[in-house]
């Protein structure tokens, strides 16, 4: 009698356990297939975005780890094993690590975002966090700039992402903005013609868009002309360095003066 009762219990619970085993295996293999699909899509995205290989491997491993944890917990739950304690342990560990490495994690996540969305790349000239320079290195935690006078500036990635970023190398061309003052007593049209001729002769200035020279301001001691030629971005500083000197020499040759503020002091004798 007891044997029949035990056999009956084994049959009932054995079938239930077998169903749990089979369904757990289905969850496991379905999860692995889904993981392969997700990783494949991630790899295509990272390749398309030309993300650094180190970051690509890290992201792939992170996705695999998280996905495998979820698969593991789902299998345990299907087998009837309580997963609450596992989730609590994982949550507590994540919280402890997050609090201990808060600053580093902020820089790290910002570094990932920079490499994913690429607001700038190595070689670009940018301005951010009060510093301007060429991008030398984009690391996981910091971005390194090199200034024109060869000073290395290391900026935490969290500061870069929280501040505005001006990328001077983003476009192929860049406008040079100069302000040249001429005397009120000089021939304004002649001054504009002289400056325009100098600008057009400069080897760095592009024909299109055409350079512009116009009156920008009637100042206290001068008529200020805005000089705005367009150049290829790498030629910006070379153009600035040559154009200012060429304009000054041409104005001198044509008898056009560049005034400067003067203060007249009158002495009265009692």
At 119-130, the pLDDT tens digits run 898 889 999 988
Contact 226, 178 (CB under 8 A): yes
Give residue 94's pLDDT.
Answer: 65
* Tally of structural domains, the chain: 3
Range of weakest confidence among 40-44, 180-184, 187-191, 266-270:
266-270
Sequence-ordered list of residues with C-beta below 8 angstroms from that of 29, at least 6 positions apart, any chain: none
Task: Give the pLDDT confidence score for residue 110 in this predicted structure.
Answer: 85
What are all long-range contacts of 49-53, with beta carbons under 8 Å and residues at least 24 apart? 49/116, 49/118, 50/118, 51/115, 51/116, 52/115, 52/138
CA distances from 159 to 52, 165, 170, 247 (A): 21, 10, 20, 41
Average pLDDT, the chain: 84
Tokens of 139: 């690391």
The answer to whether residue 132 sits within a structural domain is yes
60: containing domain: 2-100
- Domain shared by 185 and 163, yes or no: no
Q: Which residue has the tokens 């056009």?
A: 256
Same domain, 184 and 162: no
What average pLDDT score do residues 127-151 get? 90
**pLDDT bucket at 77, cuts 50 / 70 / 90:** confident
Segment (H or E) for 215: strand 212-218
Residues 152 and 222 in one domain: no
Q: Is residue 262 part of a domain?
A: no
Are residue 9 and residue 96 in the same domain, yes or no? yes
The answer to whether residue 259 is domain-embedded is: no
0.85 surpassed by pTM: no
Query: Is the same domain home to 76 and 10?
Result: yes
Which residues, in sequence order, are bridge partners of residue 156?
A: 142
Contact 228, 185 (CB under 8 A): no
Is 107 within a domain? no
Closest Cα to residue 162, out of 99, 116, 119?
A: 119
If one counts every other C-beta atom within 10 angstroms of the C-beta of residue 117, the result is: 10
Within this chain, do residues 163 and 182 fall inside the same structural domain, yes or no? Answer: no
Amino acid 93: pLDDT: 64
The domain that holds 39 is classified in CATH as 1.10.287.1260
155 with 177, same domain: the answer is no
- Quote the pLDDT of residue 176: 95
Domain co-membership, 160 together with 195: no
**Cα–Cα distance, 64 to 42 (Å, whole number):** 11
- Would 46 be classed as within a structural domain? yes
Q: Do 194 and 160 belong to one domain?
A: no
- Asked if the model's pLDDT at residue 116 lies above 60, the reply is yes
């Amino acid at each position: 009698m007891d044997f029949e009762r035990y056999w009956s219990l084994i049959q009932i619970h054995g079938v239930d356990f077998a169903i749990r085993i089979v369904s757990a295996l289905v969850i496991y293999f379905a999860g692995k297939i889904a993981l392969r699909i997700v990783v494949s899509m991630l790899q295509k995205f990272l390749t398309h975005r030309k993300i650094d290989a180190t970051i690509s491997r890290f992201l792939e491993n992170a996705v695999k780890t998280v996905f495998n944890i979820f698969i593991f917990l789902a299998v345990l739950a299907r087998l009837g094993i309580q997963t609450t304690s596992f989730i609590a342990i994982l949550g507590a560990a994540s919280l402890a690590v997050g609090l201990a490495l808060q600053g580093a994690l902020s820089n790290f996540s910002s570094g990932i975002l920079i490499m994913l969305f690429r607001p700038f790349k190595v070689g670009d000239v940018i301005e951010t966090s009060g510093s301007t320079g060429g991008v030398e290195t984009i690391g996981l935690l910091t971005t390194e700039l090199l200034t024109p006078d060869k000073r290395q500036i290391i900026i935490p990635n969290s500061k870069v992402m929280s501040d505005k970023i001006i990328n001077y190398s983003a476009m192929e061309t860049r406008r040079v903005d100069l302000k040249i003052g001429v005397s009120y007593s000089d021939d304004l049209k002649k001054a504009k013609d002289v400056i325009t001729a100098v600008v057009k002769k400069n080897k760095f200035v592009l024909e299109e868009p055409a350079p512009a020279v116009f009156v920008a301001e009637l100042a206290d001691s001068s008529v200020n002309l805005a000089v705005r030629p367009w150049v290829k971005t790498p030629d910006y500083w070379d153009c600035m360095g040559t154009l200012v000197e060429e304009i000054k020499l041409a104005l001198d040759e044509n008898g056009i003066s560049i005034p400067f503020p003067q203060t007249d002091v009158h002495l009265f004798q009692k």
